Chains A and B, each alone.
Chain A
Amino acid sequence: MEFLQAQLPRYLDGAWITLQLTFGGAVLAFVLAMVFGIMGTVRSWLLRAITTVYVEVFRGIAALVVMFWFVFAVPDMTGFELEPMFAAILALGLNVGAYGAEVVRAALNAVPRAQVEATVALNLSWFQRMRLVVVPQAWAQMLPTFGNLIIELMKATAVVYMVGILDLTAVAREVRSGTGETLAAFAIAFVIYYLIAQVLIFGMRLLERRANQKLGRTPPSGGGIMSLLRPPSVGTQVGVAK
C-alpha cells in the first residue's frame, strides 16, 4: 500500500502521456481513415491507387519502425528535429489510419446499392450523397471495428518508451529498476491499462448505441446505462427496411 501511495503520482503522469498518445493518434488515424477510406470508393483510379499505396505501406511497416524513422532518420536527412511525442503520434496515427481506411472503405461499400439509387433518383450530387446518406449509414458499421482499433492503438503506445517518452510502460520499467518490486511495478501498470481500455470500450459502445438509434434500431431490452457493459446485440448491418 505504501508502495502504491509513493509511486502512484508517477504512474498517473505516465498514464496521462499514454492517454495523450492514444487520443492524438486516434484523431489522426480517424481523419486519415475517413479520407483514404472514402478515396478508396471513388471512380478515379488515381485516387484509389494513392489509397492502396498508403494502406499497404503503413499496414506493412511496424509503427515502431516508422517512429524510429521520424525520430532518428528524419533529423539526419533534413536536420529538422521532430518532437518525440509528435513523432510518436504521427507514427501511431499513420499505422492505425491505414487499418481504419480499410474499415471505412468496406463499410461504405456495404451500404446497399438501392440506397445509392435512391439518391440518384433525387438528383443528389456525389458529395451530398456521401454526407447525407452513405457515410451516416456506414457509420454504425464502422464503429465496432473502430472500437477494436482504438484499443489496439492504446496498447501500441507502449512502444514509445523506446524513443524516450515516459509513458505508463516506461514508468513501470523505471519503478521496477528503481525499487526492485517487479511484480508490483508491472501489476499497477496492468490495472491502469485495463481501466483505460474499459473507459474506451464504454465510450465506443455509447457511440454505437447512438448510431443504431439514429438508424431507427432501438437498443435491446433494458437499454439503461448499464446495458453498455454488454456488447450490443443489435445487428450492425445496414439493410433496406422492408
Chain B
Amino acid sequence: MPPSDTPENTTAPGVGDGVADGPLIVFDQVVKRFGDLTVLDHLDFDVAAGERVTLIGPSGSGKTTILRLLMTLEKVTEGRINIGGEPFSHMPKGSGLAPASESYLRRRRKSIGMVFQQFNLFPNMTVRRNIMEAPVNVLGLSKDEASARAEELLDLVGLGDKIDAHPTQLSGGQQQRVAIARALAMRPEILLLDEVTSALDPELVAGVLDVLREVAETTDITMLCVTHEMGFARDVSHRVMMFDEGRIAEEGHPDQIFGDPQEERTKTFLKSVLENGH
C-alpha cells in the first residue's frame, strides 16, 4: 500500500503537542466509583506515544472504564489523568485545577477515537455519511475531501463497495470495520478499542482483527485495546496489562505475560480464557 493510503497522521494538533519526551497518557492515582462499587482503585500507569497496550482481565476488573474515562464518557472520582503533559480530566483554573468543563473536554478529546463493542454506527445515515459527518462538521473538511477520505478508508478496511449501503444491510463484522474507518477518519492520535470483536460471530472476528493489525503496522497511532483475543494481543501489543479488581495485577511484554505469567491471578485468568476457546 502506498503511504498516502494509510491513515497515518501524527501532526494533528491536540493532545501530544510539544511533548516528544515524557509519556503521552498518565493515570495518576485514579479512582472511579459507581455508588459503593470501586471500579478503579488508585490506579497509576503511563502509556508512551505510539505504544500499543492491551488490557486484559476478568469482567468487572475496570478495563473498559479506563477507555471510557479517556473518551470522557465517564468522569474520574479521584485522581487525575494527564495527556500530552497537560491535565485532561481536569483543567487549569487560577493556580489550581478544576473538573474539566464540556468545552475544555471538547478541545482536548479531539485526537482520541474509540471503537465500541456494539459498533454504534448511526442507522439514519449511509456508510459514507457515517464516516464523513464528523470530519466535515468537527474538522472542517470540505464534503469532497471527507468523501474521498471515506472512500480511502473503506478501501483500507475492504468495504469499498459498501459505501452507499445502510448499516443495517451489513453484517456485524462489516459494521465494525466501518466503525474502525469512521474512527480513523478523525485522524486520532490515540485509538481506544473496547472489546471490538466480542459482539461478532466467530467467523467474522478474523476480518476485523486483520484490519486492526494493518492499522497497527502502518501507523503509529497509540492504541489501548481491551480484548479477549489473546493471539491478537500477542501480535500487535508492546505491553499487556492484567487487571484485577481495579488494579494492575501484572504487566509486561506479551511474550512474558502469555508465556511466563508470574501472578497466580494472571495464570488463572489466562487458563479460563483458553478453556473458553479463544
Contacts and interface: CB of A to CB of B under 8 A. Distances in A.
Interface string A190-225: 000000000000000000000000111100000000
25 contacts: A114-B118, A115-B122, A117-B71, A118-B116, A120-B109, A122-B133, A122-B134, A122-B138, A123-B134, A123-B138, A125-B106, A125-B137, A128-B138, A132-B125, A132-B133, A136-B124, A137-B123, A215-B123, A215-B124, A216-B166, A216-B167, A240-B118, A240-B120, A241-B168, A241-B175
Interface string B234-247: 00000000000000
A128 B133 CA distance: 9
Given A216-B169, A217-B168, A241-B121, A122 B182 contact: yes
Interface of B: 71-73, 106, 109-110, 112-114, 116, 118-125, 133-134, 137-138, 166-169, 172, 175, 182-183, 186, 199
Nearest to B183: A121
A124 B123 contact: no
A125 B118 CA distance: 22
A242 interface: yes
A133 B138 CA distance: 14
A217 to B, nearest CB: 7
Nearest to B72: A120
Given A216-B169, A241-B121, A114 B134 contact: no
Interface in A108-139: 114-115, 117-118, 120-125, 128, 132-133, 136-137
Contacts of B116: 114, 117-118, 121
Nearest to A136: B124
A121 B71 contact: yes
A123 B120 CA distance: 14
B137 A128 contact: yes
Given A123-B110, A216-B167, A241-B175, A117 B137 contact: no
A124 B124 contact: no
A238 interface: yes
A242 B121 CA distance: 10
Nearest to A214: B124
B186 A122 contact: yes
A52 B173 CA distance: 44
Given A114-B116, A121-B113, A242-B118, A216 B123 contact: yes
A133 B168 contact: no
A107 to B, nearest CB: 13
A111 to B, nearest CB: 10
B127 to A, nearest CB: 11
Contacts of B175: 241
Contacts of B112: 121
B160 to A, nearest CB: 20
Contacts of B186: 122-123
Nearest to A125: B106
Contacts of B172: 242
A240 B120 CA distance: 6
A120 B134 CA distance: 10
Give the most central of A123, A133, A240: most B CB within 10 Å.
A123
The 10 closest A-B pairs by CB, nearest first: A216-B166, A216-B168, A122-B134, A118-B120, A121-B114, A136-B124, A114-B120, A215-B123, A128-B137, A123-B110
B117 to A, nearest CB: 9
Contacts of B125: 132
A120 B123 contact: no
Nearest to A114: B120
A115 B120 CA distance: 6
